[in-house]
Structure 1
Amino acid sequence: DMSPQDMRPQDMSPPDMGHMGIPGLVEGCCGPADWIEGSIGYEGDQDWYAYAHPCPGQDCMVRIRYEVEGGPVDPFWQIFRGDALWYDTVLPAEELPEQPPRQGSFGGLAAQDQCFYAFQGHRGGRDAPFFYALRIRDLLPQVDWAPGQRYRFCVEKIADGCAAPPCALAPNGECDTP
C-alpha cells in the first residue's frame, strides 16, 4: 500500500516489480492458505500485487479467483504487464452507492470464460522472471474507501498452452484474445 501522502491521482503507474510478489503461484488450485487479502482503506488507496510469469517462454492459461465483501468501495481490478495495461477489467465495475458482495473467477477453460493467459513472449531480464501486476483500487471519479470492506483473491495456473476457446491461436502459433 502507498501512504496517503505518496498518493496522487496522476501517479497511477505500477511500482518497481523487482521488489514485490505473491509468495508462490499455485498451479491448478487455490487452497485455504493461498489467498491474498486486502482492502481499500483510505482515500486514494490502491493495492498492487505482482506474480511471476507462471510458464516462462510458453503460453499458459491463468485464473484469478476472487471474493469481495459488499460496501461503498466500487472495486476496480486491472492486470498490467510491466508498465502497460494487459487486462482491463477483471471484475465488472460500476459506480453504486453500495456494492453487493460477490465471488467468482476471471479466466478459465470453458468457451464462455474470459481468455486470460500468460504470454510466451513476455520475458524477464537475465536470470529474472517477468512479472505481471494486479492493481486493485476504487472506481473513479467518485472516491470511496472502507477499511472493513475486504477483498481476497488467488492467482492460479490452470493449464499449459493456449486453450481455444476461450482464447484463440494466432497463425504464428501465439495465444491471443478472440
Structure 2
Amino acid sequence: MSSTAAAPSFTKPTRQILSPANVSAWLHSEAYAIYTKMLMDLNECVKRKSTTEQCTVSPAVQSVISVLDKIGSYIADFPPKDLDEQRFGNKAFRDWHAKVTQEAESLLAGMLHDTQKAAAVELAAYFLDSFGNATRIDYGSGHEACFIMMICCLFRLNFFTKEDSFAVVIRLFDR
C-alpha cells in the first residue's frame, strides 16, 4: 500500500478582517504566527548588513524581480491623465491596475514550478493588494504587508529560502 499526500488546494482569499473581533481572531491565528515569524526572520537577515552589501540573486528571486519589472514596464502604457481634475493620485493608476489584475495569475503561474502553479490564485490576491487600492488610488502599510505576505507564501511553498526572501526585499529597496 502506498501513501500519497493529497495535493494542496488553493482558493482566492477573501477579506476576513471586517471588525475588531476579526482582528483579535487574526492575532491569535496560525497564519498570524507564520507571518510574524517571517517578519522576524527577515529582520534577522538584515542585521549587521550594509545597504550596499551584495546579495545573492537566485533564479527564484530573479523570477519575482522579472514579474515586477514586467508590470513596471506597463507604466509607459498609462501616462498621467486629468491631472487638473484630481486631488490625490492619478486616475491612470486604475487602468494600470486593471491590466495587472488581468495578467497577475498568469504572470505568477509562469514563475512557479509545475507543482506550484495552482497557488497562483492565492498569490495573485496578495500580489495585487500590494500595489494599493485602485478605487481610492491610495497606498499604505497594509499594502506593503500584502507584499510580505506574498513573499511568506512563496517561502511556505518552498519556492525559495529565507535568504531568497531577504534578497527580494533588499533588491526592491535597492532600485
Relative to its length, the structure with more helix (as a share) is: 2
How does the TM-score come out when normalised to structure 2? 0.22
Structure that is richer in strand per residue? 1
